[in-house]
């Protein structure tokens, strides 16, 4: 398996523009997580899905952020409109949730810079 695949790896956009980050989880995994990593706040859980359903979005910072998982093999995180303070590395991770929680497998991340 190729692992969790995120695209793009780097994104530079102007303030006010819409940004869409994409994630393909590991085939067969039924949980998907979006995390944001910054120097100031560390690694924050934004939202997680189980069986394509959003379970907990309490970490989503504002209404400007939205996430979808239309099927088991694809998820998006959208920021509209983007602001400079959204600059961070965004990670997607997936896991297989069963009787014993397995670990989360991480993608390489998308480094977002909003200027």
Partner 1 sequence: AQSVTQLGSHVSVSEGALVLLRCNYSSSVPPYLFWYVQYPNQGLQLLLKYTSAATLVKGINGFEAEFKKSETSFHLTKPSAHMSDAAEYFCAVSGSASKIIFGSGTRLSIRP
| Residue of 17, 80, 101, 113 that binds partner 1 (CB under 8 A) | 101
| Per-residue contact string for residues 17-56; x = within reach of partner 1 by CB under 8 A | --------------x-x-x------xx-x--x-x----xx
- Is-contact 103 2, C-beta < 8 A? no
Count residues binding partner 1 (CB under 8 A): 24
Q: Give the N- to C-terminal CA distance of the chain in Å, as an integer.
A: 36
- Is-contact 109 8, C-beta < 8 A? no
* Residue of 65, 61, 69 whose CA lies nearest to 29: 69
Q: How far is the CB of 81 from partner 1 (least distance, A)?
A: 27
Quick check: 90 binds partner 1 (CB under 8 A)? no
Task: Classify residue 4 as exposed, middle or buried by CB count within 10 Å of its CB (0-12, 13-18, 19+).
Answer: buried
By CB under 8 A, name the binding residues for partner 1. Answer: 4, 31, 33, 35, 42-43, 45, 48, 50, 55-56, 91, 93, 95, 97, 100-101, 103-109
């Amino acid at each position: 398996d190729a692992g969790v695949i995120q695209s793009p790896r780097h994104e530079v956009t102007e303030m006010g523009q819409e940004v869409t980050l994409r994630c393909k989880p590991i085939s067969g995994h039924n949980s998907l997580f979006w995390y944001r990593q910054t120097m100031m706040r560390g690694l924050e859980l934004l939202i997680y899905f189980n069986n394509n359903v959003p379970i907990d979005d309490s970490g989503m910072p504002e209404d400007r952020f939205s996430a979808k998982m239309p099927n088991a093999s694809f998820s998006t995180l959208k920021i509209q409109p983007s602001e400079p303070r959204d600059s961070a590395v965004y990670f997607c991770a997936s896991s297989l949730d069963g009787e014993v929680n397995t670990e989360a497998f991480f993608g390489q991340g998308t480094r977002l810079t909003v200027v």
